[in-house]
């Protein structure tokens, strides 16, 4: 790497707030698949939200992939002495590069011998392995559902069984939500609306890939969030963390 590149990288790294050095969090990034999916600025924002969120709600995660953010939030909950439960959903579906243009093959990009179904089973097993290894006594409550399907069940306020065969009461108020599922605008908007119905006053919502330079619908949706008078922007690091006003 040239000196100029190093200086530029250093300059940008200075602008992201981080939690104090935590050896486990550093290790975690290489223990679980999907390192590139978690912006290090999100770690600071999650920690902030999990520390300051209102009590007695639940933490919701939309989009878990291999479990990096799930394991991280479970750890930060424990580190901050919080007892709120983490509920997450992910269909573990393969998202192809051309899906959004209506071009969808049965296999993963660039390979004709690896089916999307096998990919799905592989990603789910990565998730199961990582949480069972790192949080066996503190499992999340995980549902193999899209966020739309998940909130349909959540709205019924029933007791439901998750992929670990644990039963949990759904429909509780939400203290903090991390939105990191389908990043297309209409999905982000709907995910937010579903979360908003249950989010407590002073509760938090963090949007992954919402930074101003992002090409995702999450960034587009931030224009609406900034106009939403029920919410206060807490921090851009560089993704957006909002708190619901009282």
Ligand X SMILES: C[S@@+](CC[C@H](N)C(=O)[O-])C[C@H]1O[C@@H](n2cnc3c(N)ncnc32)[C@H](O)[C@@H]1O
Residues that bind ligand X (CB under 6 A): 34, 37-38, 62-66, 68-69, 89-93, 95, 146-147, 180-182, 187
Q: What are phi and psi of 95, to 5 degrees?
A: -105, 110
Q: In terms of Cα–Cα distance, which of 130, 152, 149 is closest to 139?
A: 130
What is the maximum span of the chain, computed from C-alpha positions, in angstroms?
Answer: 58
In the numeric block, the tokens 């709907």 are attached to 190
Q: Which is nearer to ligand X, 98 or 201 (CB)?
A: 98
CB 124, min distance to ligand X, A: 9
CB 70, min distance to ligand X, A: 7
CA gap 138, 135 in Å, rounded? 5
C-beta of residue 86 within 8 angstroms of C-beta of residue 75? no
CB 164, min distance to ligand X, A: 18
CA angle 137–69–23, rounded 5-degree value: 75
Q: Which is nearer to ligand X, 16 or 93 (CB)?
A: 93
Q: Which is nearer to ligand X, 122 or 202 (CB)?
A: 122
Q: Which is nearer to ligand X, 66 or 140 (CB)?
A: 66
Q: Which is nearer to ligand X, 22 or 202 (CB)?
A: 22
Q: Which is nearer to ligand X, 178 or 231 (CB)?
A: 178
CA gap 193, 151 in Å, rounded? 10
What 3-state class would DSSP assign to 115? strand
> Which ranges constitute the DSSP H helices of 53-208?
68-79, 116-134, 147-155, 185-198
CB 83, min distance to ligand X, A: 22
CB 39, min distance to ligand X, A: 9
CB 62, min distance to ligand X, A: 5
């Amino acid at each position: 790497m040239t000196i100029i590149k190093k200086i530029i990288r250093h300059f940008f790294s200075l602008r992201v707030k981080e939690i104090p050095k935590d050896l486990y969090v550093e290790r975690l990034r290489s223990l679980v698949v999907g390192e590139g999916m978690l912006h290090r600025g999100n770690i600071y924002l999650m920690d902030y939200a999990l520390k300051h969120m209102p009590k007695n709600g639940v933490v919701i995660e939309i989009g878990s992939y291999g479990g990096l953010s799930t394991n991280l939030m479970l750890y930060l909950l424990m580190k901050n002495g919080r007892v709120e439960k983490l509920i997450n959903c992910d269909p573990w579906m393969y998202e192809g590069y051309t899906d959004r243009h209506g071009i969808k093959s049965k296999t993963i990009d660039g390979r004709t011998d690896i089916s999307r179904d096998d990919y799905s089973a592989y990603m789910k097993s990565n998730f199961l392995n990582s949480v069972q290894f790192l949080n066996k006594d503190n499992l999340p409550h995980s549902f193999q559902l899209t966020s739309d399907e998940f909130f349909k069940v959540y709205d019924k306020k029933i007791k439901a069984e998750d992929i670990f065969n644990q039963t949990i009461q759904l429909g509780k108020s939400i203290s903090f939500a991390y939105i990191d599922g389908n990043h297309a605008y209409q999905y982000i908007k709907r995910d937010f609306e579903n979360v908003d119905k249950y989010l407590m006053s002073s509760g938090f919502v963090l949007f992954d890939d919402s930074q101003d330079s992002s090409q995702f619908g999450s960034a587009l949706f931030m224009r609406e969030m900034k106009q939403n008078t029920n919410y206060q922007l807490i921090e851009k690091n560089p993704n957006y963390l909002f708190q619901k006003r009282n």
